[in-house]
Amino acid sequence: MSDTAVSTTSIRGFWRSFRRSRMGLIGLFMFLVVVLMAVFAPAIAPYDPKEVVRVTIDDIYAAPSAEHWLGTDDAGRDVLSNFIYGSRVSLIVGFFASFISIFIGSFVGIVAGFYGGRAENILMRFTDIMLVIPDLPLAVVIVALTKPSLWNIIFVIGALGWTGSARLVRSQTLAVKQRKFVLRARSIGAGNMHIIRYHILPMVLPLIVVNTVLVISLAILNESTLSFLGLSDPTALSWGQMLNFAFTRGAMSARAWWALVMPGLGIVWAVLACTLLGQGLEQVLNPRLETHHLAVGVQMVDRGAEVQA
């Protein structure tokens, strides 16, 4: 929004300002925990969820014990191991779906913002219509009628989640387009593609990065909702899918709270991590006043100055 939007060109400078955001740091820490859990799942998890095991009736929804710290699920499998492996699927969906969303959103936003005129009119009208049709019911319809596979879920979530990004990127592009260096570049005869590539994109990119992190959290939430509604691929055990099994196969009736609580907490953890991280990044890349004229106890400070609250 303001001219100081990108004051952090070097990684070190970036980190120095990011460090100041406590929320961002907490978010980063929580995010790293999930990513590490997903990457090292085979090393951490006590059991392999795909392994063929023979179970008896007593193994089904067995309470937490020494062998199964978090009990077992409706198929007699270790909830902790499922939970650890589940982070993989949930993150894969989160990452890929948000990449799709961000790609479409950035494309639409930059084209609309930069070219303006009829292109903008058509694209933004289309965006408005997508905003008007409620995402979830539409996703439910599309997923229900295609094969419930992980990639379809990713595609649907990605293809429906770009509208917010498009609007954001467009307004940022509009702002950047009017800036002096862009006008200067144009006056010396730079082509549209050149301006987009070398002037618009670098200025819009920080916003896109922040937005990506936030869209990941939305994608993870959406995946869990679609899984809960029974529309996801039951062979890809995400946290949402664990909840679906717990829900459709009577975990609460069996008083097996462990099968329901853990995956839910996992989703909250991952979503919260992305949201906090996004907030932290936003403070660095697009700093705004976090205090004001009526603030209590804190002096009015300048942007970028150290704040020890």
Partner 1 sequence: MRQSRYLLKKIGWALLTVLIVILLNFFLFRILPGDPARAGIRDPRLTQDAVAAIRERFGLDKPVINCFESLNPVKFGSCGVNPLDTQLFIYVGNLLQGELGISYHTNRPVLDMLKEQLWNTVLLIGAAQILAIFFGMGLGILAAWRARTTIDYTALLASLTFWSLPTFWLGIILLFWGSNQFGLPTGGKATPGGNFATVWQEWADVGRHLLLPTLTYTIVFLGEYMLIMRSTLLDVLSEDYILTAKAKGLRTVQILKDHALQNAMLPMVTIIALNLGFTVAGAIQIETVFSWPGLGGAIFEAVGRKDYPMLQGAFLLIAVSVIFANLIADLLYSYLDPRVQAG
Partner 2 sequence: MKKIVLKLWLFLWIAGLLVACGGGETDSADTDSSESADTSSETADSSDAEASSSDEPVVLRVGWAGSPDTLNPGTAVLTEAYTIFEVVYDSMYQLELDGTYSLELADSLDVSEDGLVYTYHIRDGITFHDGEPLTAEDVAFSYNLYASQEDFPFLPVYTEFFDTVEADDGNNLIITLTDAIPNIQSQLIYLYVLPEHIWGGLEGAAVAEFENEAMIGSGPFKMVEYAQNEFVRLEGVKDHYLQGPTIDEVVFQTFENQDALVQALRTGQVDMITEMPNTAVVSLRNEENIELVSGPPLAPSVTDIIFNQTAPENCPPDDGLCTGHPALQDRNVRLALAHATDKQQIIDVVLLGLGAPGLTLIPDSLGVFYNDSLEDYAYDSTLANQILDDAGYLDSDGDGIREMPDGSNPLNLRMNWPSDSTNAPRMAELLAGMWGEIGVGTQLQALDPDALTATCCPTFDFDVILWGWGSDPDPNFLLSVMLTDEIPTGNSETGYSNPTYDALYLQQAVELDQQARIDTIWEMQRIVHEDVVYIIPFYEQSVQAFRTDRFTGWQTDAGKIALEDPSSLLVVEPVR
Site string for partner 2, 74-103 (x = CB under 8 A): xxx---------------------------
Q: Are 89 and 236 in contact (CB under 8 A)?
A: yes
Contacting residue, 234, 289, 298, 301, with partner 2 by CB under 8 A: 234
Q: Enumerate residues 12-71 that contact partner 1 by CB under 8 A.
A: 22-23
Q: What are phi and psi of 78, to 5 degrees?
A: -70, 120
How many angstroms separate the Cα of 283 from the Cα of each of 8, 15, 177, 207, 278? Answer: 12, 12, 23, 11, 9
Q: What are phi and psi of 246, to 5 degrees?
A: -60, -40
The DSSP string of 58-117 is GGTTPPP-SS-TT-B-TTS-BHHHHHHHHHHHHHHHHHHHHHHHHHHHHHHHHHHHHH-H
Cα–Cα dist 94/96, whole Å: 6
The site partner of 36 among partner 2, partner 1, none (C-beta below 5 to 8 Å per kind) is none
Nearer to partner 2, 73 or 120 (CB): 73
- CB neighbours (10 Å) of residue 303? 11
Q: Are 150 and 233 in contact (CB under 8 A)?
A: yes
Report, in Å, the least distance between residue 234 CB and partner 2.
Answer: 4
What is the SS3 assignment for 34?
helix
* Piece in contact with partner 1 (CB under 8 A), picked from 81-89, 110-118, 195-203, 295-303: 295-303
Report, in Å, the least distance between residue 227 CB and partner 2.
Answer: 11
Contacting residue, 32, 133, 183, 254, with partner 1 by CB under 8 A: 133
Q: What is the largest CA-CA distance in the chain?
A: 78
If residue 271 lies in a helix (H) or strand (E), which one and from where to where?
Answer: helix 257-285
Residue 72 has what DSSP assignment?
B
Q: Are 202 and 208 in contact (CB under 8 A)?
A: no
Q: Are 284 and 21 in contact (CB under 8 A)?
A: yes
Contacting residue, 292, 302, 305, 306, with partner 1 by CB under 8 A: 292
Contacting residue, 9, 178, 187, 253, with partner 2 by CB under 8 A: 253
Considering CB under 8 A, how many residues would be counted as binding partner 2? Answer: 32
**Amino acid (one-letter) located at 299:** Q
By CB under 8 A, tell whether 250 contacts partner 2. yes
The site partner of 56 among partner 1, partner 2, none (C-beta below 5 to 8 Å per kind) is partner 2
Q: Are 70 and 78 in contact (CB under 8 A)?
A: yes
Contacting residue, 9, 297, 302, 305, with partner 1 by CB under 8 A: 297
By CB under 8 A, tell whether 213 contacts partner 1. no
Residue 78 has what DSSP assignment?
B
Nearer to partner 1, 19 or 125 (CB): 125
* Piece in contact with partner 2 (CB under 8 A), picked from 104-112, 128-136, 153-161, 231-239: 231-239
The site partner of 131 among partner 2, partner 1, none (C-beta below 5 to 8 Å per kind) is partner 1
What are the residues binding partner 1 (CB under 8 A)?
22-23, 125, 128-129, 131-138, 140-142, 144-145, 217, 221, 224-225, 228-229, 240, 243, 247, 252, 260-261, 264, 267-268, 271-272, 275-276, 279, 288-298, 307, 309
